[in-house]
Amino acid sequence: MNAANFFKIFFIWAFAFCSSVVECYGAPPVNMPVGSRFYEDFELLEVKGLIHSGLLSTRPFGRPEGARLTLEALEAEKERPVRGGASRILRRLEDEITRELYDEPATEIKPLTSAYLQYLYSARDPRFPEINSNGDELENGSNLRAGIASSATFRGRLSVYLNPEYRLDGSSRGSLEQGYLMLRRSGAEVLIGRDSMWWGSGFHGNLLMTNNASALDMIKVTSGHPFLLPWVFSKAGPFRPTLFLARLESERDVSNANLLGMRLDFKPTGSFQVGLSRVFMFGGEGRKSLSFDDWVDAFFAGDSAEHSDSPTNGNQIVSIDASYVFINDRWSFLPFSGIKLYTEWGAEDSSGATKTPTGRANMYGFLADRAFWIDDLDVRLEWANTARNARYGPLWYRHSVFTSGYTFHGRVIGHHMGTDSRDLFLKARYHLANGMVAAAEADFERSGIHSSGETSRVWYAADISIPAFEDMTVAFGAGLERDDGEDGGVFWSRVDYRF
C-alpha cells in the first residue's frame, strides 16, 4: 500500500472511529502550550517507567490528556515507587492537573489563568535565545516580554483561550501569541485559531514541525485522547491522528499559500512509539485556482500534486519518527536507570521517472535518567543533519516555486538550524531540593556546509528554576554565544505565576 492510499484509508476511518469514543473526563478542553514544563515532566515520568500509554511526541495536547497521564503515573507509582525530583514532579502534577477531573463540567470564565514576565539582556543580536520561541525576535540590549493567559469554558465542551503578550525592546508592541476556540465532542477536538505545534520526540528540534516559527493560524482536528482501533488493529496499540490546514503570511514570495499537515501516532508497545508526518505547501496568490479534484490530490498526496510538471506543484516534506524507552532494572553496570532513544528520518519533494524524494535529513537523540549513577540527574544529547550530501543538502526546506522556503514570517517551521546544516545539542538537568532545577546546555551548529559561506555557531548556557511560592516560579540564566569568533554574553530572568 502506498502512502497516498494509507493516509486516505486511515484518516477517514480513524476520525470516524474517534468520534465514537466515550468522553470520560471533565477537565476543560484547553491545550497545554508547547513550551510548557509539563511536557518535560511527563517525559521524565515515562523514562522512570510510570507512563506507558502516552503519545508524547505530538504537542500540544489538552489538560484532560495531561490529567489522564498523571493518574496513570500515580497508579504505576504504587508498584514502582519514585523519590527525589520525580516524586516532587508527580505531587505537583497531581495538585495542578488532576483536581480538575473531579469538577463537574460548567461554564467558567478565567480572565487570568497564568502570567509571566521575562527580561533578557544580550551584548549582541542573539540567535540561540530566539530558538523555539514562537518566532520571537530579540535585539541587542534589553528585551522585555510580559504576557497573560485567559480562558473560558462552556459546559466543558467549548473553550476559548487567549495569550496576549507585550514586547518592549527597540520598539513597543503587542501581539496575540496564541488564541483559539476549541470544541471537544465525543473524543474529537476541533481547534480554530492560532496555536503552535511540535511533532516528534526531539527536545531541541524536529524536522517538520516545531515552535521555532510563530504560531500558525489554522483549523486543526485531532483526538482528545489516544484510542484503540477495533478488531485486529487494536494490536497496534493506542492511535492518535492529527490533521490541520493553515494559511501562511502575505509577505512572502507566494502570498497566502496553504499549509496542509497530517500526522499519525501509534504505540505498538508501552515502550515503542512511531509517528508518521506529512506537510504540503500549495496554492496562494498567483497560483492555479484549485478545483475540488486538486484539493483531493493535495490531501491524498496524489501523483499530480507535487511534481514540476504539475499545475499545483506543491512543496511536500514527509518523515517517520520513533522512540524506545528502556528501563534498567537489572544491570547495575549501565550508567543510567532508564533511557529514551529516539530518531526521525525525513524526505523532501520528488522528481524523475521514479518520483523518488530528492532530499533526506535525519535526527537522533537520547535522554538518560539517573545518568552516571547520580540520583536526580538526567542527560540529553541530540544530533540533527540536513546536509547529508552536497547535491541535496542545499535543497532541504527549499522549493523552486515557493522560494521563501519552509518558513513562516521568515523563521523555519521545522528544525531551527535550517538548510544544509548540522547541529549537536547537549543538556544536563539536576533536580535539587524543594523543587529547584539546575540545568546546563551546549549547542554546536554549522550551516551552509556545502557552500562557500559556511558558518559556525556555539552556545553555552546555564540556568536555575526556583519555586518561590506555591504558584510562582522564578528562573535565572546566563549564556555565551559565539559566531565565527565573535562572542556575546546573554542574561535572562523569568517569573511565571499560575492563578
Q: Which three cell numbers stand for residue 27?
A: 477537565
Alpha helices in 80-163 (DSSP H): 84-96
d(CA 458, CA 463): 17
d(CA 60, CA 36): 9
**Cα of 290 vs its chain's centroid, Å:** 30
pLDDT digits (tens, 9 = 90+) for 372-400: 999 999 999 999 999 988 877 788 998 88
pLDDT digits (tens, 9 = 90+) for 280-328: 998 888 876 666 666 666 666 555 555 555 656 678 899 999 999 999 9
pLDDT for position 302: 57
CB atoms within 10 A of CB 484: 9
Tally the domains of the chain: 1
- As a whole number, mean pLDDT of residues 13-31 equals 52
Query: Which pairs from 10-17 meet CB under 8 Å and 24+ separation?
Result: 10/241, 10/264, 11/241, 11/243, 11/262, 11/264, 13/229, 14/223, 14/229, 14/239, 14/241, 14/264, 15/188, 15/221, 15/223, 15/241, 15/243, 17/227, 17/229, 17/230
pLDDT digits (tens, 9 = 90+) for 396-435: 998 888 889 999 999 999 999 999 999 999 999 999 988 8
- Could you tell me the CATH number of the domain that includes residue 136? 2.40.160.130
Using an 8 Å Cβ cutoff, are 482 and 444 in contact? no
Using an 8 Å Cβ cutoff, are 288 and 311 in contact? yes
Contacts of 295 (CB under 8 A, 6+ apart): none
pLDDT digits (tens, 9 = 90+) for 247-293: 999 999 999 999 999 999 999 999 999 999 999 998 888 876 666 66
Q: Above pLDDT 70, what percent of the chain?
A: 85
Strands (E), 337-397: 338-348, 359-369, 377-385
**pLDDT above 80 for 488:** yes
**pTM over 0.75, yes/no:** yes
Q: Which three cell numbers stand for residue 64?
A: 484532560
Q: Which three cell numbers stand for residue 145?
A: 516580554
User: Where is average pLDDT lowest: 12-21, 344-353, 480-489?
Assistant: 12-21
pLDDT digits (tens, 9 = 90+) for 138-196: 999 999 999 999 999 887 788 999 999 999 998 999 999 999 999 988 788 999 999 99
Domain of residue 335, residue span: 3-498
Task: Name the packing angle between helices 38-47 and 63-77 (round to 10°).
Answer: 30
